[in-house]
């Protein structure tokens, strides 16, 4: 049995492709994952929420307009309707007809290709607990035979709390866009193994604080060479980027 994921054991690559392949393909679709993989990426971040009938699928926004031909709240439609949408035409003609993927489809793709996944739990507002619970339970089942589990992350403590209850064995990370005074306590209270911060928040002091609290340190969304180099010099554990075309994952 391998040691628990955290300070002494970190089985994830440093470079992580944001939403599959950043902006080069329609975000959070299988086409994006394939493109990120073609650029050498072996770990991906994606956003997961629930359909009205409780199926986990990939989408960033709470509403459908920006990245599909649907309308209104994504969490308000059943999967039978969401599965018919075109999530590619908004990006480019060559991706017309690209479907919204289920978490199950992405899990199969990652597992068959030996890729790692960071599942960002992105609940439709008002469904924080339910989304954390269902996503964690689904992930535990989908990855039950895998050597390396997916890393669950969220900006929503309620989602991480529900994920811990549903699948305590899956590693969790707290996402932070600012650093409240109790950021480390929040992460520790949720038994997180990592914090994923806006990259501008990391410096030698914040990194030392997180490490001192037994947490791994990841950064999003890093699209400039100077920013990536700064983080690498600091010794960051993970870099989430849109620029799969710029950064060769080491
Ligand atoms: O998980 C890191 C990053 O994806 C968080 O921000 O808005 O791109 O989901 P967002
Ligand atoms: Mg995200």
Q: Residue whose CA is closest, atom 4 of ligand 1?
A: 18
Is pLDDT above 90 for 41? Answer: yes
Residue 178 inside a domain? The answer is yes
Residue 248 inside a domain? The answer is no
Q: How far is ligand 2, taken at its centre, from the CA of residue 151, in Å? A: 12
CATH assignment of the domain containing 125: 3.20.20.190
Q: Which residues pair with 188 in a beta bridge?
A: none
Cα distance between residue 120 and residue 61, in whole Å: 12
Cα distance between residue 26 and residue 246, in whole Å: 18
Is pLDDT above 90 for 101? Answer: yes
Give the tens place of pLDDT for each residue, 52-71: 999 999 999 999 999 999 99
Asked whether the beta carbons of 170 and 140 are under 8 A apart, the reply is yes
Q: Report the nearest atom of ligand 1 relative to the CA of 47.
A: 9
Give the tens place of pLDDT for each residue, 168-183: 999 999 999 999 999 9
Residue 250 inside a domain? The answer is no
Give the tens place of pLDDT for each residue, 138-163: 999 999 999 999 999 999 999 999 99
* Burial status of residue 168 (CB atoms within 10 A of its CB: 0-12, 13-18, 19 or more): exposed
Is pLDDT above 70 for 1? Answer: no
Mean pLDDT confidence for 93-99: 98
Helix (H, G, I), strand (E, B) or coil at 123: coil
Q: Is the CB of 175 under 6 A from ligand 1?
A: yes
Residue 92 inside a domain? The answer is no
Q: How far is ligand 2, taken at its centre, from the CA of residue 172, in Å? A: 14
User: Which ligand places an atom closest to the C-alpha of 155?
Assistant: 1
Residue 82 inside a domain? The answer is no
Closest listed residue to residue 9, CA positions, set 177, 171, 118: 171
Q: How far is ligand 2, taken at its centre, from the CA of residue 178, in Å? A: 16
Q: How many domains does the chain have?
A: 1
Mean pLDDT confidence for 17-33: 97
Residue 228 inside a domain? The answer is yes
Is pLDDT above 70 for 102? Answer: yes
Q: Which residues are catalytic?
A: 18, 60
Closest listed residue to residue 207, CA positions, set 45, 199, 11, 227: 199
Give the pLDDT score at 250.
Answer: 79
User: Which ligand places an atom closest to the C-alpha of 197?
Assistant: 1
Mean pLDDT confidence for 48-53: 98
Instruction: Name the residue with higher pLDDT: 2 or 21.
Output: 21
Mean pLDDT confidence for 106-130: 98
> What is the domain range of residue 219?
15-63+101-241
Residue 38 inside a domain? The answer is yes
Give the pLDDT score at 171.
Answer: 98
User: Which ligand places an atom closest to the C-alpha of 151?
Assistant: 1
Mean pLDDT confidence for 187-196: 98
Mean pLDDT confidence for 229-242: 98
Residues 6+ positions from 200 with CB-CB distance below 8 Å: none
Q: Is the CB of 44 under 6 A from ligand 1?
A: no
Mean of the per-residue pLDDT values of the chain: 97
Q: Residue whose CA is closest, atom 10 of ligand 1?
A: 60
Is pLDDT above 90 for 3? Answer: no
Q: From residue 63, how far is each of 16, 60, 86, 124, 220 by CA, in Å?
A: 25, 9, 14, 9, 22
Q: How far is ligand 2, taken at its centre, from the CA of residue 195, in Å? A: 14
Give the pLDDT score at 103.
Answer: 98
Residue 69 inside a domain? The answer is no
Residues 6+ positions from 172 with CB-CB distance below 8 Å: 151, 152, 153, 154, 160, 163, 164, 190, 191, 192, 193, 194
């Amino acid at each position: 049995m391998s040691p628990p994921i955290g300070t002494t054991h970190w089985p994830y690559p440093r470079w992580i492709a944001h939403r599959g392949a950043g902006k080069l393909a329609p975000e959070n679709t299988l086409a994006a994952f394939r493109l990120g993989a073609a650029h050498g990426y072996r770990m991906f971040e994606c956003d997961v929420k629930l359909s009205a009938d409780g199926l986990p699928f990939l989408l960033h926004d709470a509403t459908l307009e920006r990245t599909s031909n649907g309308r209104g709240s994504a969490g308000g439609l059943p999967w039978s309707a969401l599965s018919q949408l075109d999530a590619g035409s908004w990006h480019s003609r060559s991706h017309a007809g690209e479907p919204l993927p289920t978490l199950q489809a992405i899990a199969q793709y990652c597992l068959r290709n030996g890729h790692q996944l960071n599942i960002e739990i992105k609940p439709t507002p008002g469904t924080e607990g339910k989304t954390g619970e269902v996503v964690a339970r689904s992930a535990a089942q989908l990855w039950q035979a895998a050597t390396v589990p997916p890393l669950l992350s969220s900006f929503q403590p309620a989602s991480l709390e529900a994920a811990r209850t549903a699948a305590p064995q899956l590693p969790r990370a707290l996402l932070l866009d600012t650093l409240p005074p109790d950021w480390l306590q929040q992460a520790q209270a949720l038994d997180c193994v990592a914090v994923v911060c806006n990259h501008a928040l990391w410096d030698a002091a914040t990194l030392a604080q997180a490490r001192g609290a037994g947490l791994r340190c990841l950064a999003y969304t890093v699209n400039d060479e100077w920013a990536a180099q700064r983080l690498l010099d600091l010794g960051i554990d993970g870099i989430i980027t849109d620029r799969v075309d710029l950064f060769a994952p080491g």
